[in-house]
Structure 1
Amino acid sequence: MKAEVSHQRLLLELTALDAELSRIAHRSKTLAEQKRFDELQAEQRAAQDRLAVLQIAVEDLDGQVSRFESEIDGVRQREDRDRSLLESGTVNPKQLAEIQHELETLERRQASLEDSVLEVMERREELVNQQAVEQIEIDRLNGEVATAAQARDIALAEIEQTRSVAGIRRTELAQTISADLVAVYERQRTSTGVGAGLLQGRRCGACRIEIDRGQSAQITAAPEDDVVRCPECGAILLRFTGIGS
């Protein structure tokens, strides 16, 4: 296959643009700003999960307090009933002794329940304090996530702008090169990732492998407009020092 030397020179620029577009694509996938955003989001979710767990624990303690208070109310009502009976003067000595014993038991039960309520309320206060700490952390992370998102969006916009400029230039350039030459280049690029490479001495600029002397002599002796392929990787070998040389 033959192609004008000027078209082969343009192919060198096309190769450079494709390499730049590959670097842009890689950077967009490994963006430091995106990594930082993802890390902060993970911290944010973890803090929100911790806060949710604390809220469930507080609600559980509130339920315990309600049950204890309900039981205390029941004990107090029983005490009030027993005292009313004592004050009525209608109970016999045996009933009197039983009621007095029950009152003592109820008093001990009420004291125990009230102690339990205090313990639960102390635990609840600890959890509420932990909630406040977690909320402060979440507020901080919310701000950092917003800042990180902005930095990521700016970086992505810059990448997209660079990608757009390079893509437009590539489209324009490809249209000025022989369609047959571009087709060979694209097939090779699809196959190995690099369609062409500058021949530097005996080294292929695409695969970086040094060509043996016999094959190198044949390549050097080939007419300028011959489209020469690397015997190692198949890339188009561009046999000049660069654009404008």
Structure 2
Amino acid sequence: MPKADPFTQRRLLDLAAVDRSVGTARHRRTTLPELAEIAAGEQALAGLRNAVITAETEVGDLDRDGRKLDAEIETVRARADRDAARLSSGAGSPKELENLQHEITSLARRQGVLEDDALELMERRETADEVLAGATREFDAATASLDAARARRDAVFAEVDAELETLAAQRSEVAAPLPADVLALYEKVHATGRTAAAELTGDTCGACKLGLDRVEVGRLRSAPADEVARCPECGAILIRA
């Protein structure tokens, strides 16, 4: 069992205090409310991005259909104009002229149907534009909210990292004078995630908060002052008053 004078042993309490602060800082870093907010925001943003893409696709499809309709209307109109010119010229047999008149009538009917379709398409395009604008607004707002949450997270991370850097320097300063074997024992207990050093107050271990039986307490109290004592329950180094 390592040995150290009582003053040196009490430095272990300072080391444990630094380690508690380190644990608190690390816990704060991993439990920031912004982390859950960012995770939820990223998931929501993915859905909103898909909504924008869907709306953009709908607008693009309607534009394509509109161009196709416009081209078809122009083709029908051009053919009707040619037929009308031929009919006006009077060139051709009466049968041919009669057929031209029927074709002009049919083309006019076809043009009317196509123009109605184009009007309906324009209305659908207006609706699609509104949907796209709404989806884009929601996406932009969610992006801004997510960026703000990330900025808050990064600010706290920077603050915590600076604190951890300061604590690391403090820890090195506190640990430097400790005997190697005493420090090694402390680090061994600390590596388990438990409190590595605490005071023995009455019959209670300051690390695990359990009361020790009187025989054990008597043995600890009567042990040489330079003996590094340990809690039989949790293994923490016990600093006796």
Q: TM-score, normalised by structure 1?
A: 0.85
- Are the counterparts in 1 of residues 55 and 135 from structure 2 also a CA contact under 8 Å? no
Change (3 A) 1:148 1:192: closer
SS of alignment partner, residue 198 of structure 2: strand
Deviation readout 1:82-128 (Å, 9 max, x if unpaired): 22332232333433343333323222221121111111111111121
- Whichever residue aligns with residue 205 of structure 2, its letter is C
Q: CA deviation at 1:176?
A: 1.6
- Are the counterparts in 2 of residues 51 and 134 from structure 1 also a CA contact under 8 Å? yes
SS of alignment partner, residue 238 of structure 1: strand
Alpha-carbon distance between aligned partners in 2 of 1:104 and 1:199, rounded to the nearest angstrom? 108
Structure 2 partner of 1:230: 231
- Are the counterparts in 2 of residues 33 and 155 from structure 1 also a CA contact under 8 Å? no
Matches within 5 A, 1:1-245: 1=1, 2-240=3-241
Q: CA deviation at 1:142?
A: 4.5
Alpha-carbon distance between aligned partners in 1 of 2:101 and 2:12, rounded to the nearest angstrom? 107
SS of alignment partner, residue 7 of structure 1: helix
Alpha-carbon distance between aligned partners in 2 of 1:52 and 1:193, rounded to the nearest angstrom? 52
Alpha-carbon distance between aligned partners in 2 of 1:209 and 1:108, rounded to the nearest angstrom? 96
SS of alignment partner, residue 176 of structure 2: helix
SS of alignment partner, residue 167 of structure 2: helix
Deviation readout 1:174-204 (Å, 9 max, x if unpaired): 0021211010111121134432233233333
Q: CA deviation at 1:39?
A: 4.1
- Are the counterparts in 1 of residues 90 and 97 from structure 2 also a CA contact under 8 Å? no
Deviation readout 1:204-227 (Å, 9 max, x if unpaired): 333333333333332232222211
- Whichever residue aligns with residue 170 of structure 1, its letter is R
RMSD: 2.4
Alpha-carbon distance between aligned partners in 2 of 1:210 and 1:116, rounded to the nearest angstrom? 87
SS of alignment partner, residue 21 of structure 1: helix
Q: CA deviation at 1:44?
A: 4.3
Alpha-carbon distance between aligned partners in 2 of 1:229 and 1:87, rounded to the nearest angstrom? 116
Change (3 A) 1:10 1:80: same
Deviation readout 1:130-156 (Å, 9 max, x if unpaired): 333333344444544444343333322
- Are the counterparts in 2 of residues 174 and 182 from structure 1 also a CA contact under 8 Å? yes
Q: What is the total number of aligned residue pairs between the two structures? A: 240
- Whichever residue aligns with residue 62 of structure 1, its letter is D
Q: TM-score, normalised by structure 2?
A: 0.87
Q: Structure 2, unaligned stretches of length 5 or more?
A: none
Structure 2 partner of 1:243: none
- Are the counterparts in 1 of residues 199 and 238 from structure 2 also a CA contact under 8 Å? yes
Alpha-carbon distance between aligned partners in 2 of 1:46 and 1:137, rounded to the nearest angstrom? 11
- Whichever residue aligns with residue 83 of structure 2, its letter is D
SS of alignment partner, residue 233 of structure 1: coil
- Whichever residue aligns with residue 167 of structure 1, its letter is A
- Are the counterparts in 2 of residues 41 and 145 from structure 1 also a CA contact under 8 Å? yes
